Chains A and B, each alone.
Chain A
Amino acid sequence: MADSTNPTVYEIFESMEQGPAAATSTPTAQAWLDHHSRSLGFFMDGKFILPADRRSLSLTDSKGGVVCSTVCAEDADVSQCASSAAAGWKSWSSLSCSQRAKALLRLVGVLGLHGQCVSELCALCEASCSPTALVRLLQYYSSWAQLRDTLIPGWTPVGVVVVVSSDDCSLYSLMLKVLPALAMGNSVIVVPGRSAAPPTLLLAQLFTGAGLPAGALNILTGSDVTLGAKVSRNPDVRLIAYCGNKQDGLALCKASAGMGVPVSVSSCVGATCPFIIFESADIDSAVDEVIQIAFKKKEVHWVLCVQESVSDSVVARLKLRMANIKSVPLSSDADRVLVDAAVQEALQQGATLVQPCGVSPGARYPPTVLCGAAPSSPYVVTPPPGPLLPLLMFRSNTEAVLLGNHSPHGHAASIWTEDLTLALETAKSLSVGSVWVNSSSVSDPCFPVSGHKDSGTGTDGGQEGLYQFLRPSFSSPLPRPSPVSLEYSKFGTEAAQVVIPDSTDGASIPQSYPQFVGGKACKSVSGCSVAVQAPGGDSVLAFCPDGGRKDVRNAVEAAIKVQPGWMKKSPSARAQSLYSLAKGLESRRKEVSASVGAQLGVPAEEADREVELSVGRLNVWAAYCDKVQGGSPPMTQSGAALSFPEPLGVVGIVLPDNAPLLSMVTVLGAAIATGNAVVMVPSQRFPLPALAFVQVLQSSDLPAGLVNIITGNRDQLTVALANHSVIKAIWYWGSAQGCQYLQHTCTSPLKTLRLSWQQDGEGRGAAPDWAQPHPSLMEDLWRNAVQWKSVWIPTA
């Protein structure tokens, strides 16, 4: 009468087994799916649309059962969706802030009514997201919808935003993009990954039912993320926001290159995150957290870093605590092969295993800690899909930071110590977006978080995360170029046009200017020069160095040496340096003004005016130095939190043609006021003002190498900047092809791009009017020069 599935009371009394987990039932979600005949279409114009004859994809659950099927959009659907979104944008953006806020707040009520269905559907589709988290998002962003014009004056919504997620991305990460985009007044086309698609469709239906105008939120499903690029061809689309794994993000960047739509990437899925336990930690609590997070099916891979002095007690506790944990189901047999191979490899390299029980064949694998891993171990670099946790040891606090920063990802880190000073020092030094002190994996929309390094190019959360969905109101959006077929490997390789100097008149040999690398005025490495033509193009005005890859390399080398020191300087010290730079420009105004005049062929008064504006601009940036600051966002639990802006590092800048001096000091000021170092390429046509500025830089007290100016062929130098792995961001004013090249190329490592194409010919294009010091222009510039980090310090 007693069998293993139905033991007697006495047997349980002896074994103290927990009993089987109650089967989760999902009646409401099933009913909703049945209502749609288990075949989900698109959502556009405020309703479901299920066109016939489309390829369909079925979504299976963990046990292999089919949950439902989604369809793949074709060109007709793509254009229908885009026009729905364009119409939606009109109606949604024309509402007042408080009307939008009200609409979003109504969604909270709707979610309250249908939370059960949403959470069941999420559970079915394994796109975990709790309704409470969604409610929090909605409440937070509805208040931002209310206060947009009050707290962010001078900015307007960008238009239609395409939000794309990869198959493995959670619904929460997706909504963290969708809701702020809507709150700011944009309409949204969501291209959800496979698992998030059904719950997103349900939400779209609920939201529209609650009064979101038709077309404000549209869902398009397909087989992969490049559908996001396809739908972005529509000229109303102004931004692609992506969240998910890195590969799909890169594919999307490449697919959308040349469309003139910026892509903000948050590769939150699949990142490697360090979990650092110092000897001053509450070891038991740290181990508890490890057990909680490390072996579940998860979006990130954890790497456990333990201080050597406490590694024995950590491992001993892990062994005890893991003894009770059951094996974890793997998603496929192929995964099992990968996991087995990784474990074998680890054993061969001398790792020791901590496993609760023996390994049995099949689709389940026991949680396993691989002790004795190294940062270079293959299973650390590319973690296999299974419940494996590598354990690394470190000796000192500095070594902990080194290990923590070793991976190319910069998503998040968890650090455990009771020593507040150590916690803050470590948090500062880790290049990640979120640092959880004595906690892990908590998130809240009021925290601004940027993916550092390869983990992204955008900021999500907080007021800081809203700017990606806004543009300065005074600027008119650039006309959209269309992608051309570009041979990326050949870009920037064509030989420069040779100008033979006409040296008949010995008295007026044109002057040779040096460029500025590592604090020294010098020739290019190649030794070659190019001629700078006078306005009208009939005579040679001067010669400037023909810089190339090696010059860029030298400049970056110099820049990374001094940038950390510059970043750590007090803001007021940076301000002083900028004030004195302004003063230096003022004292050399005659020479600089002469070069502006000669270069542009403008009257002296106009040249004088540009120099004067430039002096003023530098003073403005000096004043900004200690005003760009973080804060202490409110926490939902007790404790303290900090958010700070951090410089990107080394920024490559290809400068615009118009207002060559003023535009240069404006972007230069933004970059260095916030703590970055720059490698600047002056306008190919009008390099002289920048070269005249070299003298000002030389006599300034900026650290040598902080500012570098390299002249030469723009495309060639763009290629050099794009292919340098240290440069974290590129600001580019240039050709549409250059923009296309950069968006296609700057993916490994991921660079933050700010691309503006100027129309050929006059070179005045749609670039901002540099002479007008709009506050939103300045804000736009400095916000592009920083990335955000949030530090959580929960307390009792």
Chain B
Amino acid sequence: MSARNPGTDFDLEWLSKVRVNTQAVLKRAQHIQGLKLPKKQWQTAWLLKAASCIDLTTLAGDDTPSNVHRLCMKAIQPVRYDLLRRMDMHDKGLTTAAVCVYPSRVADAVRSLKAANSCLPVASVATGFPAGQTPLETRLQEVRMAVRDGATEIDIVINRTLALTGQWEVMYREIVQFREACGDAHMKTILATGDLGTFTNIYKASMVAMMAGSDFIKTSTGKEAVNATYPVAIVMVRAIRDYFLRTGHKVGFKPAGGIRTAQEALVWLTLIKEELGNDWLHPHLFRLGASSLLADIERQVRI
């Protein structure tokens, strides 16, 4: 994995000049959805790439060690061996990017993966997921405990109250603390864009999250009314590009919530390729948060 984003000092000026034209973003999103998608073996390769970028997720109240174990096994072997063999991809170490679970299930996931001799990262949501409406102290504690249990990636949620009331610097300081609590674990910051109201707020929240040292910014928890949409993604990846131009650091992007079909996965890859270029088309800079997408990809992968 390449160098992590160390973050920067809080700079209000980066936020104050932000302008987002809603209709232009919507038009751009429509344009991207209308682009021709790859066909034939290109489609197959792209779908496998999508599979390799998935954070295979289960975030449910009824998660138990057994279904987390099944999830881990699926993550290690995301596409049937015989299918992969037919396209000569069986020996390329294809796995999903990570598994993603609640903090209490981290230990189960780590155990399952260790038993299967896999070093696949375990990601844990934290900081009062999904609402983030718990005291800062318990949110920090949650992060530390997930890391202690063996999570190497932490998906934190931002405090939307701070974002909606424009307290960007307070939010910055909170995220900096989360990042400290993460230690070596990579931090993905969930903006819960469905709650933020405007594109401008989404852009600002993205920027604050990156300034505070996030390794990824992530669209949603999957629990809001509106989840990952293409226009929101365009705003966020533009913020990523802006941050890259200002600092030279590449921050990853993770859309999550509601991504179910192989077709959608191809559009997501196209969007990233169009907006950020091929550099971002790797699991270390792009993740798809999904639980049922993999099944559809497996159905569509044919040669």
Chains A and B are bound partners: yes
Give the dominant DSSP class at B's interface.
helix
Closest Cβ of chain A to B25, distance in Å, is: 6
**A17 is an interface residue with CB less than 8 A from chain B:** yes
Q: Which residues of B contact A112 (CB under 8 A)?
A: none
Closest Cβ of chain A to B64, distance in Å, is: 35
Instruction: Determine which of B36, B49, B238, B242 lies in contact with A16 in the assembled complex, contact meaning CB atoms within 8 Å.
Output: B49
Which of B31, B41, B92 has most chain A Cβ within 10 Å? Answer: B41
Q: Which residues of A contact B269 (CB under 8 A)?
A: 16
**A21 is an interface residue with CB less than 8 A from chain B:** yes
Q: Which residues of B contact A796 (CB under 8 A)?
A: 22-23, 26
Closest Cβ of chain A to B237, distance in Å, is: 9
Interface string of A1-42 (1 = CB under 8 A from B): 000001111111101111101100000000000000000000
Which of B36, B45, B87, B89 has most chain A Cβ within 10 Å? Answer: B45
Q: Which residues of A contact B238 (CB under 8 A)?
A: 284
Give the A-B pair count, Cβ closer than 8 A: 105
Which of A7, A9, A280, A320 has most chain B Cβ within 10 Å? Answer: A9
Q: Are A313 and B23 neighbours in the complex by a CB distance under 8 Å?
A: no
Interface string of B49-92 (1 = CB under 8 A from A): 10000000000000000000000000000000000000111001
Closest Cβ of chain B to A440, distance in Å, is: 10
Closest Cβ of chain B to A567, distance in Å, is: 31
Stretch at the interface among B4-12, B120-128, B218-226, B274-282: B274-282
By size class, the interface of chain B is: 35 or more
**Residue of chain B at shortest CB distance from A282:** B21
**Residue of chain B at shortest CB distance from A18:** B38
**B303 is an interface residue with CB less than 8 A from chain A:** yes
Q: Are B19 and A22 neighbours in the complex by a CB distance under 8 Å?
A: no
Given contacts A10-B89, A282-B21, A288-B24, contact A22 B41 (CB under 8 A): no
Q: Are B245 and A324 neighbours in the complex by a CB distance under 8 Å?
A: no
Please report the C-alpha to C-alpha distance between residue A639 and residue B281 in the assembled complex, in whole angstroms. Answer: 36
> What are 23 of the A-B contact pairs (CB < 8 Å)?
A6-B41, A8-B88, A9-B41, A9-B45, A10-B88, A13-B45, A15-B278, A16-B46, A16-B273, A16-B278, A18-B42, A22-B39, A280-B19, A281-B19, A284-B242, A285-B24, A286-B24, A313-B245, A323-B277, A324-B274, A324-B278, A439-B27, A795-B23
Closest Cβ of chain B to A742, distance in Å, is: 45
Q: Are A8 and B24 neighbours in the complex by a CB distance under 8 Å?
A: no
Q: A10-B88, A21-B36, A439-B24 are in contact. List 8 more A-B contacts (CB 8 A).
A: A6-B41, A12-B41, A12-B46, A22-B36, A285-B20, A285-B28, A324-B274, A794-B23
Q: Which residues of B contact A612 (CB under 8 A)?
A: none
Q: Are A316 and B25 neighbours in the complex by a CB distance under 8 Å?
A: no
**A289 is an interface residue with CB less than 8 A from chain B:** yes
By size class, the interface of chain A is: 35 or more
Top 5 A-B residue pairs of the complex, sorted by shortest distance between their CB atoms:
A19-B42, A12-B45, A285-B24, A796-B22, A282-B21
**Residue of chain A at shortest CB distance from B20:** A282
**A438 is an interface residue with CB less than 8 A from chain B:** yes
Q: Are B39 and A316 neighbours in the complex by a CB distance under 8 Å?
A: no
**Residue of chain A at shortest CB distance from B241:** A320
Interface string of B26-48 (1 = CB under 8 A from A): 11100100001011111111101
**A300 is an interface residue with CB less than 8 A from chain B:** no
Q: Which residues of A contact B277 (CB under 8 A)?
A: 320, 323-324
Q: Are A9 and B89 neighbours in the complex by a CB distance under 8 Å?
A: yes
Please report the C-alpha to C-alpha distance between residue A205 and residue B28 in the assembled complex, in whole angstroms. Answer: 38
Please report the C-alpha to C-alpha distance between residue A316 and residue B248 in the assembled complex, in whole angstroms. Answer: 12
Please report the C-alpha to C-alpha distance between residue A17 and residue B300 in the assembled complex, in whole angstroms. Answer: 19
Q: Which residues of B contact A795 (CB under 8 A)?
A: 22-23
**A283 is an interface residue with CB less than 8 A from chain B:** yes
For chain B residues 154-179, which have a beta carbon within 8 Å of chain A? none
Please report the C-alpha to C-alpha distance between residue A153 and residue B62 in the assembled complex, in whole angstroms. Answer: 75
Q: Which residues of A contact B23 (CB under 8 A)?
A: 438-439, 637-639, 794-796
Q: Which residues of B contact A561 (CB under 8 A)?
A: none
Q: Are B38 and A19 neighbours in the complex by a CB distance under 8 Å?
A: yes
**Residue of chain B at shortest CB distance from A310:** B17
Closest Cβ of chain A to B273, distance in Å, is: 7
Interface string of B87-119 (1 = CB under 8 A from A): 111001000000000000000000000000000
Please report the C-alpha to C-alpha distance between residue A438 and residue B36 in the assembled complex, in whole angstroms. Answer: 25
For chain A residues 404-444, which have a beta carbon within 8 Å of chain B? 416, 418, 438-439
Please report the C-alpha to C-alpha distance between residue A484 and residue B241 in the assembled complex, in whole angstroms. Answer: 67
Closest Cβ of chain B to A620, distance in Å, is: 43
Q: Are A282 and B28 neighbours in the complex by a CB distance under 8 Å?
A: no
**A317 is an interface residue with CB less than 8 A from chain B:** yes
Interface string of A283-302 (1 = CB under 8 A from B): 11110110010000000000
Given contacts A13-B45, A281-B19, contact A317 B245 (CB under 8 A): yes
Q: Which residues of A contact B39 (CB under 8 A)?
A: 19, 22
Please report the C-alpha to C-alpha distance between residue A249 and residue B45 in the assembled complex, in whole angstroms. Answer: 52
Please report the C-alpha to C-alpha distance between residue A9 and residue B51 in the assembled complex, in whole angstroms. Answer: 14
Given contacts A21-B36, A317-B241, A320-B241, contact A9 B48 (CB under 8 A): yes
Q: Which residues of A contact B273 (CB under 8 A)?
A: 16, 18, 324
For chain B residues 172-230, which have a beta carbon within 8 Å of chain A? none
Please report the C-alpha to C-alpha distance between residue A282 and residue B28 in the assembled complex, in whole angstroms. Answer: 13
